Structure 1
Amino acid sequence: MSENKVILTVACTGAWPQKSDTPWIPLTPREQADDIVRCWEAGASIAHIHVRDDNHQASMNVDPFAETVRRVRDRCDIVINLTTSGGLGLDDEIRMKPFQQLRPEMASFDAGTMNWAHSTVFENSPRFLEKLATSMRACQVKPEFEIFDAGMIYNVLYYMKKGLIQGPPHFQYVLGAPGGMTAKVRNLMFLLETCKHHLGDNFTWSALGIGRGHLPIMFAALALDGHVRVGMEDNIFYRKGELAQSNTWFVNRVKRAAAEMDKAVATPEETRAMLGLTRQSPVSA
Structure 2
Amino acid sequence: MYQTKRLNRTDKVIITAALTGAVTTKQDNPALPTQPEEIAKAAIRCWEAGAAVVHIHVRDDNDQGSMRFDKFQDTVGLIRQAKCPVVLNLTSSGGQGFSWEDRIKPFRELKPELASFDAGTMNWLNKVVFMNEPEFLERCGNAMIAAGVKPEIEVFDIGMLNTAKYYLKKGIIQAPAHFQLCLGAPGGMEATVENLLYLVNHLPENCTWGAFGIGRGANEVLLAALALGGNIRVGLEDNVYYNHGQLARSNEQFVERVKRVANEFGRQAATSDEAREILGITKNRQE
Question: What is the distance in 2 between the residues matched to 1:125 and 1:89?
Answer: 13
How far the C-alpha of 1:2 sits from its partner, in A, is 2.6
- Within the alignment, does 1:224 sit opposite 2:228 as a pair? yes
| Gaps in structure 1 of 5+ consecutive residues | none
* 1:213 corresponds to: 217
**Structure 1 length-normalised TM:** 0.95
* 1:48 corresponds to: 55
* 2:285 corresponds to: 280
The answer to whether the 8 A contact 1:48-1:83 is kept is yes
Number of aligned residues: 278
How far the C-alpha of 1:72 sits from its partner, in A, is 1.0
Question: What is the distance in 1 between the residues matched to 2:174 and 2:244?
Answer: 42
- Within the alignment, does 1:89 sit opposite 2:92 as a pair? no
More displaced stretch, 221-230 vs 163-172 = 163-172
The answer to whether the 8 A contact 2:53-2:86 is kept is yes
Question: What is the distance in 1 between the residues matched to 2:284 and 2:148?
Answer: 9
Partner-residue secondary structure (3-state), 1:3 = coil
Partner-residue secondary structure (3-state), 1:152 = helix
Amino acid at match of 2:62: N
Q: 1:14 pairs with 15, 21, 30, which one?
A: 21
More displaced stretch, 226-235 vs 211-220 = 211-220
* 1:236 corresponds to: 240
Amino acid at match of 2:272: P
Deviations 1:163-190 (CA, angstroms, capped at 9, x unpaired) = 2222211100000000000001100000
Q: 1:3 pairs with 6, 10, 21, which one?
A: 10
Partner-residue secondary structure (3-state), 2:38 = helix
Question: What is the distance in 2 between the residues matched to 1:256 and 1:172?
Answer: 21
Q: 2:79 pairs with 72, 79, 104, which one?
A: 72
* 1:190 corresponds to: 198
- Within the alignment, does 1:111 sit opposite 2:119 as a pair? yes
Deviations 1:207-238 (CA, angstroms, capped at 9, x unpaired) = 00011111001111100000000000000101
Q: Once the two structures are aligned, what percentage of the paired residues are identical? A: 53
Amino acid at match of 2:197: M
The answer to whether the 8 A contact 1:102-1:281 is kept is no
Deviations 1:14-59 (CA, angstroms, capped at 9, x unpaired) = 1111111111111111011111111111111100000000000000
Partner-residue secondary structure (3-state), 1:87 = coil
* 1:167 corresponds to: 175
Change (3 A) 1:281 1:266: closer
Partner-residue secondary structure (3-state), 2:152 = strand
Amino acid at match of 1:103: K
Partner-residue secondary structure (3-state), 1:212 = helix
* 1:136 corresponds to: 144
Misfit runs of 4+, over 6 Å: none
**Structure 2 length-normalised TM:** 0.95
Give the alignment's Cα RMSD to 1 decimal: 1.2
